[in-house]
Amino acid sequence: MEQDLLDWEMRSFVYARIVERGLPPLAEQAADEFGIETGEARAAYERLHERHALFLDPQTREVRMAFPFSAIPTQFRVRANDRWYWANCAWDMLGVPAALHSDAEIHAEYAGDGSPVHMSVENGQLRGDDGVVHFPLPLRHWYDDLVFT
């Protein structure tokens, strides 16, 4: 398969697996899916990371973020289509129902005091607790420190 096509099909597979199971596939599992060597799947992950299509864990080089989804537990949990998802941040907790085009229940915490926040998306309308989302860096610097952003 041509490399660019493989990369984008790999990306689609990662997202499909997250939607279906809540977590992205390990590189080894992606390799099995495509009938390729694990090293080839890792290389595709790295290229998608370079293109900002996925974000890999700095240590394991497995998928940590497939925006808006997180592969690791966060304080932003979203229930949609009878499944729980983790979102990367306050923006992404709303990004999950936006990406899924679904209703959702959102459980989060206010930064600072850690008190719980509950919201829902119903028929495209956001309801529930109020608040503001802080974007500490200008958009042009978002990829300088993605975890902080």
Partner 1 sequence: MLFRSEEAVDAWCEAQNRPRGKTLTLQKTWELSEAWYGNRLSPDYRGRTAEEIREVFDDVGLRDEYWHP
Helix axes 38-50, 3-21, angle to 10 degrees: 90
Smallest separation, CB 26 to partner 1 (Å): 20
Q: Is 119 in the site for partner 1 (CB under 8 A)?
A: yes
Task: Candidates 131, 144, 145, 147: give the one binding partner 1 (CB under 8 A).
Answer: 131
Would you count residue 24 as binding partner 1 (CB under 8 A)? no
Give 4 or 59: the residue with its C-beta nearer to partner 1: 4
For Cα atoms 69, 57, 135, give the angle at the middle one, nearest 5 degrees: 55
Interaction residues for partner 1, span 31-90 (CB under 8 A): 51-53, 67-68, 76, 89-90
In this structure, the dihedral spanned by the alpha carbons of residues 45, 46, 50 and 52, taken in order and rounded to 10 degrees, is 30
CB distance 82 to 49 below 8 Å: no
Q: Establish if 114 lies at the interface with partner 1 (CB under 8 A).
A: no
Phi-psi region of 146 (alpha: psi -120 to 50; beta: other; left: phi over 0): alpha
Q: Where along the sequence are the contacts to partner 1 (CB under 8 A)?
A: 8, 12, 15, 19, 51-53, 67-68, 76, 89-101, 108-113, 115, 117, 119, 121, 124, 126, 130-140
